[in-house]
């Protein structure tokens, strides 16, 4: 009986495993291998990577405001609208400003016409004064020649009288003629000087018919009027609020018909694709980071999309330094909390156009990659 039992046990031990048993064994081996692989990857990730889920998509969000006060006559943008550079965002009431511009333009035209007329009057007055000067200069030449002729006659009569060949009457007659010619010559010279003064006066606007406004003054008035017109034109331009660049509207703050003040926000916008990742890394991990290290990025909104980038900037101060309400710890009680250092990550690959500011992401920084 004992021999029979031993034979049966030996036969059972040598019996081959059934297919179901092989399948179970294979599954167990596969599970063990997968666990070992996962464990190895987890250890490798912990050793060569720094990860955090405290990261968000950031962008240069621009707040658009009006430079001037005014009532909004035209504003129909909503959040999500796309803008191109130069597109009109809002139109403020501009009728009074346009009427003032028309008046200033009329002032410029009036002063310009007055300046042109004054220049013509002055040119005519100077021309007439120069013509009179030319005539009087000719008269001076005639008077000089007559004076020289009378002086020779007087000199001849004086010699005759000295030699008792001429009468006293003849000498006096030639002397009077010479004195008269000399006086007329001096008078002609004085008239030439007056003509020269008249030319100088005409050039400054003092004409025989009265004084006109000097061109220098009119030029100054015209310059001021043009500056006022340009200022008003710039004001009208500022009553139309335009987009300085392409982007998408993130939020609006006004409605059509509202009255806005200078500097009051109208909307916020950012340029699509001009985004980056702002991650907050534990201070205990920051020693492992360096600019240029590659980063794998997981965006919560797009789990199937692939993004990667690199470390661009490592902050020089912890985020608690920028808190609006700092904690001075007046009680003396202290609880040590691991602080966070801001790190900026540039997105190198991936559909950046899909990303919006504020989206939550997870980043995995490979600290084993070479530095740039």
Which residue's structure tokens are 């029979």? 4
In percent, the amount of the chain with pLDDT more than 70 equals: 87
pLDDT at residue 14 tops 60: no
Domain ranges of the chain: 62-95+248-269, 96-235
For the domain covering 62-95+248-269, report its CATH number. 2.40.50.100
The count of C-alpha atoms lying within 13 angstroms of the C-alpha of 119, restricted to the half-sphere facing its C-beta, is 10
Tokens for 144, please give them: 């000089």
50-70 pLDDT, tens per residue?
Answer: 888 889 999 999 999 999 999
Tell me, which fold does domain 96-235 have in CATH? Outer membrane efflux proteins (OEP) (1.20.1600)
d(CA 340, CA 250): 28
| pLDDT band, very low/low/confident/very high, at 335 (cuts 50, 70, 90) | low
d(CA 200, CA 194): 10
pLDDT at residue 367 tops 80: yes
pLDDT at residue 1 tops 50: no
d(CA 120, CA 110): 15
| pLDDT band, very low/low/confident/very high, at 44 (cuts 50, 70, 90) | low
d(CA 70, CA 304): 48
**pLDDT mean across residues, the chain:** 85
Do 96-235 and 62-95+248-269 have the same topology in CATH? no
Distance in angstroms between the alpha carbons of the first and the last residue of the chain: 82
pLDDT at residue 15 tops 50: yes
223-237 pLDDT, tens per residue?
Answer: 999 999 999 999 999
273-330 pLDDT, tens per residue?
Answer: 889 999 998 888 888 888 989 999 999 999 999 999 999 998 877 666 656 556 665 6
235-254 pLDDT, tens per residue?
Answer: 999 999 999 999 999 999 99
Structural element, H or E, at residue 235? helix 215-238
pLDDT at residue 45 tops 70: no
Query: What is residue 310's predicted lDDT score, i.e. its pLDDT?
Result: 93
Query: What is residue 86's predicted lDDT score, i.e. its pLDDT?
Result: 93
Query: What is residue 121's predicted lDDT score, i.e. its pLDDT?
Result: 81
In percent, the amount of the chain with pLDDT more than 90 equals: 42
| pLDDT band, very low/low/confident/very high, at 47 (cuts 50, 70, 90) | low
Q: Torsions phi, psi of 129, nearest 5?
A: -65, -40
d(CA 15, CA 6): 14
CA dist 351 → 248, 347, 354, 359 (Å): 16, 10, 6, 14
Query: What is residue 43's predicted lDDT score, i.e. its pLDDT?
Result: 64
Closest CA to 256 of 40, 78, 16: 78
Cβ atoms within 10 Å, residue 359: 17
160-209 pLDDT, tens per residue?
Answer: 878 888 788 888 888 898 889 889 889 888 888 887 888 888 777 777 77
Coil vs helix vs strand at 51: strand
The segment with the largest mean pLDDT, out of 29-33, 117-121, 357-361, is: 357-361
For residues 358 and 250, the answer to whether their CB atoms sit within 8 Å is no
For the chain, the residue count is: 372
d(CA 217, CA 136): 32
């Amino acid at each position: 009986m004992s021999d029979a039992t031993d034979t049966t046990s030996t036969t059972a031990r040598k019996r081959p495993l059934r297919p179901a048993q092989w399948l179970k064994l294979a599954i167990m081996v596969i599970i063990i291998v997968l666990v070992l692989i996962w464990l190895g990857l987890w250890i490798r990730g912990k050793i060569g990577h720094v990860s955090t889920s405290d990261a968000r998509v950031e962008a240069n969000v621009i707040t658009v405001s009006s430079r001037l006060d005014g009532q909004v006559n035209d504003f129909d943008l909503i959040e999500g609208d796309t803008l191109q550079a130069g597109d009109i965002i809002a139109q403020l009431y501009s009728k009074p400003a346009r009427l003032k511009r028309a008046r200033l333009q009329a002032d410029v035209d009036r002063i310009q016409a007055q300046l042109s007329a004054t220049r013509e009057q002055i040119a005519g007055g100077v021309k007439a004064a120069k013509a009179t000067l030319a005539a009087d200069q000719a008269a001076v030449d005639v008077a000089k020649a007559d004076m020289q002729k009378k002086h020779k006659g007087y000199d001849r009569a004086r010699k005759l009288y000295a030699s008792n060949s001429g009468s006293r009457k003849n000498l006096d007659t030639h002397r009077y003629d010479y004195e008269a010619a000399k006086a007329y010559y001096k008078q002609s010279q004085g008239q030439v000087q007056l003509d020269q003064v008249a030319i100088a006066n005409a050039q400054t606007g003092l004409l025989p018919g009265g004084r006109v406004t000097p061109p220098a003054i009119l030029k100054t008035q015209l310059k001021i009027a043009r500056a006022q017109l340009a200022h008003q034109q710039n004001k009208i331009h500022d009553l139309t609020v335009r987009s300085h660049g392409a982007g998408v509207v993130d939020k609006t703050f006004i409605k059509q018909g509202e009255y806005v003040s200078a500097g009051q926000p109208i909307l916020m916008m950012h340029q699509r694709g001009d985004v980056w990742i702002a991650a907050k890394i534990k201070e205990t991990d920051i020693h492992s980071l360096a600019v240029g290290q590659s980063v794998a990025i997981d965006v919560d909104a797009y789990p199937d999309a692939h993004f990667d980038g690199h470390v661009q900037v490592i902050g020089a101060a912890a985020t608690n330094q920028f808190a609006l309400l700092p904690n001075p710890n007046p009680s003396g009680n202290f609880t040590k909390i691991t602080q966070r250092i801001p790190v900026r990550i540039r997105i190198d690959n991936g559909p950046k156009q899909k990303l919006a500011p504020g989206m939550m992401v997870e980043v995995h920084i490979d600290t084993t990659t070479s530095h740039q």
